A and B are shown apart, each in its own frame.
Chain A
Amino acid sequence: AQSVTQLDSQVPVFEEAPVELRCNYSSSVSVYLFWYVQYPNQGLQLLLKYLSGSTLVKGINGFEAEFNKSQTSFHLRKPSVHISDTAEYFCAVSGCDNYGQNFVFGPGTRLSVLP
């Protein structure tokens, strides 16, 4: 079955600095990749998704992610973060393998933007 790894459980960064949140997934014949954001006491919101085409995907709030098939990665980046970006970020993958189609979330990365 599909699995998703987010190596960093917490990432502190200063305001206006760049940030990269890492995501790796288990290989599959074909995958679709997603990033969600969860603000405190709220549900998840879809930030961006990769289905096909250009490997660089732009999302809301200035975030972007790059799909790298050879490294089975889908890292999330933002060139300059704001205090309001403090939240938990989840990578997710939808793929088809020997067990069928499934959708799996990673464990999450908590981004803390410091003044």
Chain B
Amino acid sequence: DAGITQSPRHKVTETGTPVTLRCHQTENHRYMYWYRQDPGHGLRLIHYSYGVKDTDKGEVSDGYSVSRSKTEDFLLTLESATSSQTSVYFCAISDPGGLQPQHFGDGTRLSIL
């Protein structure tokens, strides 16, 4: 299995609080992605990174920010969580030649009350 670890795996928090999710990889892959998964929508891209300090927005980036200070870590931050951000969040990685996300973490289930 590809070495991708997401933390925490589960989190419950209140509206308006900041939340940070972490994705850690041991594969030294250049590309990292954050997706959210909601029923009927499949996976939608929030942000992605193509290198250290190189990030770009995805389809549903509003309300989210990311940072990548090291190759192995990609952080997703909800500055002020809202109930609409209740979802399952997945991190994924791919190597430079990949056309698509190749390996996924096991997900973080986030509930905003």
Residues of A within 8 A of B (CB): 4, 9, 32, 34, 41-46, 49, 51, 90, 92, 94, 103, 105-108
**Interface contact A34-B100, CB-CB below 8 Å:** yes
Q: What are the residues of chain B within 8 A of A90 when measuring CB–CB?
A: 42-43
Q: What are the residues of chain A within 8 A of B70 when measuring CB–CB?
A: none
Stretch with Cβ within 8 A of A (4 or more), from B14-22, B60-68, B71-79, B104-112: B104-112
A46 to B62, alpha carbons, bound, how many Å? 28
Q: What are the residues of chain A within 8 A of B4 when measuring CB–CB?
A: 43
**Interface contact A108-B42, CB-CB below 8 Å:** yes
- Can you list 8 contacts pairing A with B, beta carbon distance less than 8 Å? A4-B42, A43-B90, A44-B43, A94-B100, A103-B45, A103-B99, A103-B100, A105-B42
* A interface, over-half SS: strand
Q: What are the residues of chain A within 8 A of B101 when measuring CB–CB?
A: 44, 103
Residue of B nearest to A94 (CB): B99
**Interface contact A32-B42, CB-CB below 8 Å:** no
Given known contacts A9-B40, A107-B40, A43 and B45 CB-to-CB distance under 8 angstroms: no
B10 CB to nearest chain A CB (Å): 11
Interface size on B, residues (CB 8 A): 18
**Interface contact B104-A92, CB-CB below 8 Å:** no
Cβ 8 A contact of A105, one of B44, B105, B107: B44
Q: A32-B100, A105-B42, A107-B42 are in contact. List 17 more A-B contacts (CB 8 A).
A: A34-B100, A42-B106, A43-B4, A43-B92, A43-B106, A43-B107, A44-B43, A44-B101, A46-B100, A51-B99, A92-B100, A94-B99, A94-B100, A103-B100, A105-B43, A106-B42, A107-B40
